[in-house]
Chains A and B, each alone.
Chain A
Amino acid sequence: MNKLIQIAVGMMGAAFTSGAYAAWETNLTKGVTDISHEVYDLHMLVLYVCIAIGVLVFGAMIYSMIYHRKSKGHKAATFHESTKAEIAWTIVPVFILVALAIPAAKALIKMEDSSNADLTILVTGYQWKWQYEYPEEGISFFSNLASDSREASARDSGIDPATVDNYLLEVDNPLVIPVGKKVRFLFTSNDVNHGWWVPDFAVKKDAIPGFINDMWANVNEPGIYRGQCAELCGKDHGFMPIVVIAKEESEYNEWVEQQLASAKETEAAANKTWDMASLMEQGEKVYTTSCVACHQAGGQGIPGVFPAITGSAIATGDVAGHLDTIMNGRPGTAMQAFAGQLNDADVAAVTTYQRNGLGNSVGDMVQPSDVKALR
């Protein structure tokens, strides 16, 4: 027992003093948009109103508890109503509420007006990643949890999360937006409800399959802003962060050029014939970003929830059936259609990897051209 207490005290002592953990943030962020400043001011206003009322009410209770007690010989009064007092404490709160509601309504109307945007970005939630599309620029990519965070978050990984940069708040491909522009976000989902939240922008909106929501932000300062999925969306709800990099307009334009150039390279890669080693290498990469959350690192799945890849009838059977499952998904289950998420080379690589890795050894290869033929 003593030992247990020692360990507990030791753990807490270590945790509270370690530099990496020393963050005692207690309040809402002010954020980096005019709207987020307004929201912060409203938050502080209503907080102060509550504290003032609290001081009055709790003050009266505590005074009464100290002075109006039987042990002090206080005799009970007999009053049990006062129309004047009761009217007063009905009317006065109404005035306070009106005073709060007016600025809140003004802020809300501004927040919901996403007209005249300079740039539109379509955000699609997936279990468990985000897709960002810039319809005007023709850019589209997925944003997954960074691999070092994913490794450290595994049970018994032996990696101290404090040693991982921005643990659970880092992604492979961040969203990039220009500063000083009104950016309109459109939200939807490919599977279940998600919630896109960046506290510094005071933007939180649900991404709902079949519907499109919108919200906007005009960021004042360049920087990296982090958020998380806010709406419970299944097993890895806590593992689909959001990272937005706000850049000066010139840097943003450079980034757009780079994206367009790398899209061309990917296209070229899809047209060549791949050898087994490079398919397996690329396949493992795709597997760890797109498949591992459900089917697990060793391909064993989670019994009863997500089927195994290792030894599965689909992954060791006919290649056409395997490709169909990957590309078109399984309706009514959590298995998504990856045809729209992965390019030809990636589908070919991950299919080959699943057939020849993870304990399987079918021996055949799938080429990007095979995938292209099925589109």
Chain B
Amino acid sequence: MNAHVADTHEHHGPEKGLMRWITTTNHKDIGSLYLWFSLIMFLIGGVMALIIRAELFQPGLQFVDPQFFNSMTTMHALIMIFGALMPAFVGLANWMIPMMIGAPDMALPRMNNWSFWILPFAGTLLVATLFVEGGAPASGWTMYPPLVLQTGAAFPMLIFSVHLLGFSSIMGSINIIATIMNLRAPGMTYMKMPLFVWTWFITAYLLIATMPVLAGAVTMLLTDKYFATSFFDAAGGGDPVMFQHIFWFFGHPEVYILILPAFGIVSQIIPTFARKPLFGYSSMVYATASIAFLSFIVWAHHMFTVGMPVAAELFFMMATMLIAVPTGVKVFNWVSTMWRGSMTFETPMLFAIGFVMMFTIGGFSGLMMAMTPIDFQYHDTYFIVAHFHYVLVPGAIFSVMAAVYYWLPKWTGNMYDESLGKFHFWISTIFVNILFFPQHFVGLAGMPRRIPDYSVQFTDFNMISTVGAFGFGLSQLLFVYIIIKTVRGGEKATDQVWEGAEGLEWTLSSPPEYHTFTVQPDVK
């Protein structure tokens, strides 16, 4: 290639108008598409959560019928997991992985376009179930048979939507692995990769290993309903519990798919604002890999009450408790990174610290429910609801917000409004605790999950929780406002953006060129 050709290539910018977004193969464009999609689904799923909390404000049925309530809990979970959180992390991976490893783009740019553009169709199909005969799926996002087989016209739409979401995730993961393995800049050895890249590398393997398992499980549901098979029907020689085993063999690694990238984000942000290198880089990598490995051998802790041999219950209890060890290592390492640093508390750091504290609270309740005999009391109560919302909302979602505040100035070239950002953090943190902390109490006091109406002794804490939910939900409108305001303009960001930031992405201009690292940097 001669110099002239290379030069014209440099100035090749995006197409204009809508076609830019439909035909794009650029990792930055696709990253943005993923993130906008995620934000929209987050708001849709959030509205469903508010419908749930409004109904639970007081005992008795005020706003919705039980069947629709069950549809709301089911759809809220599916949309938040597959529509909001996973695409948010894939969007961040698209934007940041090439920029962090010094690559010009993702390794498979056309497939990248496809893996995004499947999503709006899958999401639409899923949301459209709300309008078909029999209503949206109402059997819980876990889709346990035989109950799920009672779903009406929504059933095949649900299955096909899960298949599409799976295709998208698998293609996205293949792309991430191919990019990380092949497109690292010279000198960027594996043990020099930023931790966000490492955690995504491992997450991508988890996705490839587990999404086909989910696809197989839901396909068996489909044939059980329409093609007279009996995989999960005892009357035909099948086993309804087998579905739960297969589902959670996917489902538990899925939990780590939703949290490992969050670990990566926090491991980028804390060193920046502590102005001190990440403590125990290699033990962080090993801990991530250990968590990923353990995630494959603990699935049955989601179903301790299903009736298993004592030996199996003991094995799954102990394997689950073991996860506390590598997770503890991570928390200790983050605290040690902060220790004797020179900290400032800009919005990304606030969200990252909020993540560490509240994720740890979720981790503690996780350790409690790992213990089988007491899990019999916690199982399917609001204690569980509190647990997984602590790890997913002030856990995973806070990490996404931290990442957006951290990299938005890089992406747009504009600084966000720092006081508004801090205000967003504080109201989110206060309300998220008002929302979820009381759920520990009602759960322990005996309130089952997935019920539209409850006995009057649970009223007080449910009211508090609903107040928190509306506060938290409305706070997120501020987040949307801050993002739009920053995209449209604002104080210009420097290339370095944050004083203590290190890594290849900060060597690029803010905003970066449409094509970056067409010549790969040398990493010392």
Contact = CB atoms under 8 A, between A and B. Distances in A.
A264 interface: no
Given A21-B459, A162-B59, A210-B234, A304 B152 contact: yes
A76 B341 contact: yes
Given A50-B364, A192-B150, A208-B240, A57 B335 contact: yes
Nearest to A205: B305
Nearest to A163: B456
Give 5 closest A-B pairs by Cβ, nearest first. A210-B234, A238-B451, A213-B307, A23-B457, A50-B364
Interface residues of B, number: 104
B138 interface: yes
B342 A209 contact: no
A153 interface: yes
B138 A234 contact: yes
B374 A168 contact: no
B516 to A, nearest CB: 28
Contacts of A71: 344
A3 interface: no
B317 A101 contact: yes
Contact of B441 (A25, A60, A64): A25
B313 A108 contact: yes
Nearest to B58: A15
B376 interface: yes
A195 B445 contact: no
B277 A78 contact: yes
A235 interface: yes
Interface residues of A, number: 107
Interface stretch (A39-47, A175-183, A338-346): A39-47
A68 B377 contact: no
Given A94-B325, A101-B318, A168-B455, A43 B279 contact: no
A199 B239 CA distance: 28
Contact of B445 (A26, A82, A304): A26
Given A153-B60, A206-B305, A231-B380, A60 B339 contact: yes
A281 to B, nearest CB: 29
Interface of A: 12, 15-16, 20-29, 38-39, 42-43, 46-47, 50, 53-54, 57-58, 60-61, 64-65, 68-71, 74-82, 85-86, 89-90, 93-94, 97, 100-101, 104-105, 107-109, 111-112, 152-155, 157, 159-162, 166-169, 187, 191-193, 195, 197, 199, 202-206, 208-211, 213-214, 227-239, 302-305, 333-334
Given A93-B328, A157-B60, A64 B338 contact: yes
A234 B342 contact: no
A233 B274 CA distance: 50
Given A29-B445, A64-B339, A213-B306, 9 more contacts: A16-B460, A23-B458, A26-B440, A105-B317, A206-B306, A210-B240, A232-B70, A234-B139, A236-B66
Contacts of B460: 15-16, 21-24
B459 A211 contact: no
Contact of B240 (A29, A65, A101, A193): A193
A137 B243 CA distance: 36
Contacts of B314: 105, 108
B340 A86 contact: no
Contacts of A229: 448
Interface string B111-150: 0000000000000000000000111001110001011001
Interface in B8-65: 58-62, 65
B324 interface: yes
B372 interface: yes
Interface in B129-181: 133-135, 138-140, 144, 146-147, 150, 152-153
B283 interface: yes
A42 B370 CA distance: 12
B147 A233 contact: yes
B371 A104 contact: yes
A167 B455 contact: yes
A230 B305 contact: yes
A111 B305 contact: no
Given A75-B342, A76-B275, A168 B146 contact: no
A81 B280 contact: yes
Given A46-B371, A235-B138, A167 B456 contact: yes
B353 A65 contact: yes
